[in-house]
Amino acid sequence: MATVCRLQAMSHPEAAYSQPTPAAPLALVEDLDELRATSVERVRILIADADPLARRALSDALRADGAFTIVGQSATAVETVELARHYRPALVLLATGLPDVDAIAVCERIVEATPLTRVVMLATVPDLDLEMRAVRAGACGFVVKSDEIEAISRALSVVTAGHAIISPELTAVLVDRLRRTPAGGSGTRPVKSSLTDREWEVLDLICEGATTRDIADTLYLSPETVNSHAKSVLKKLGVHSRAAAVEAVTVLRGEVFS
């Protein structure tokens, strides 16, 4: 009989988030002898959650599944990025409630530091806006703590196989946007992009022919801030002019539909 367990029923986030976790990052890593003895066919996974009860429930369930090896557990953003860089796991199950840094920023850092690692966000409740931000940051999946652990395990297996797990609500939004996208993909944003949301907003307006003053007025920014974002965009795209940036992003957007 399959064990049915919901993380929310086992965790107490208020207590977990109000108390710092004193353990150093490497103290949270499993015994290396056990790790070396594990079959190479098992998927190496890092679990990041500030709630120790949630971490324990997930670790026990994924070990029992037999398809995963827990290479480490972390309770803060710093620990998570350090362990991801050190162990380069196939998966990181990243809770959205880390206390020190926004989890979306942590996702971006992991994707940048270890491009082969796939990140699955673990949210407290369904949140379409958060899910969309996570996908833009490079996450390959989005699950919630109210899901049964068996469902979370299946989602991780799907992501391991190279697919993505997103909610039906986000799927509907993406399909609608795709239908309304002009020919050539103008306005689309590649998922794995180094540009921030604000930089994309600036770049979109540059592509429309807006001047610095126009962009500043539209986004309620100072011209100096707009120029700063524009310089960052040029640097990240590897070009030296706004016209070249428009050409470069046209190529990127074309790749989305190729």
Q: Which CATH architecture has domain 181-256?
A: Orthogonal Bundle (1.10)
Q: What number of other Cβ atoms are within 10 A of residue 45's Cβ? A: 26
Q: What number of other Cβ atoms are within 10 A of residue 231's Cβ? A: 10
Give the span between the Cα atoms of 20 and 99, in whole angstroms. 9
Can you give the pLDDT at residue 49?
94
DSSP letter (8 states) at residue 220:
T
Strand spans (E) along the chain: 43-48, 68-74, 91-95, 118-123, 141-144
Give the span between the Cα atoms of 235 and 195, in whole angstroms. 10
Residues of the chain with CATH 1.10.10.10: 181-256
Q: Quote the tokens at residue 243.
A: 């016209």
pTM (whole model) above 0.95: no
Pick the CATH number of 7-169 from 3.40.50.300, 1.20.120.160, 3.40.50.2300, 3.30.70.141: 3.40.50.2300
Q: Are strands 118-123 and 43-48 parallel, antiparallel or unpaired?
A: unpaired
Digitized pLDDT (tens) for each residue of the chain, 258 residues in all: 444 444 544 443 333 333 344 443 443 444 444 444 444 468 999 999 999 999 999 999 898 888 899 999 999 999 999 999 999 999 999 999 888 788 888 998 998 889 899 999 999 888 888 888 888 888 999 999 888 888 898 899 999 988 988 888 888 877 776 565 444 445 566 656 678 878 888 988 998 889 999 999 888 888 898 999 999 999 998 999 999 888 888 777 665 444
Residues of the chain with CATH 3.40.50.2300: 7-169
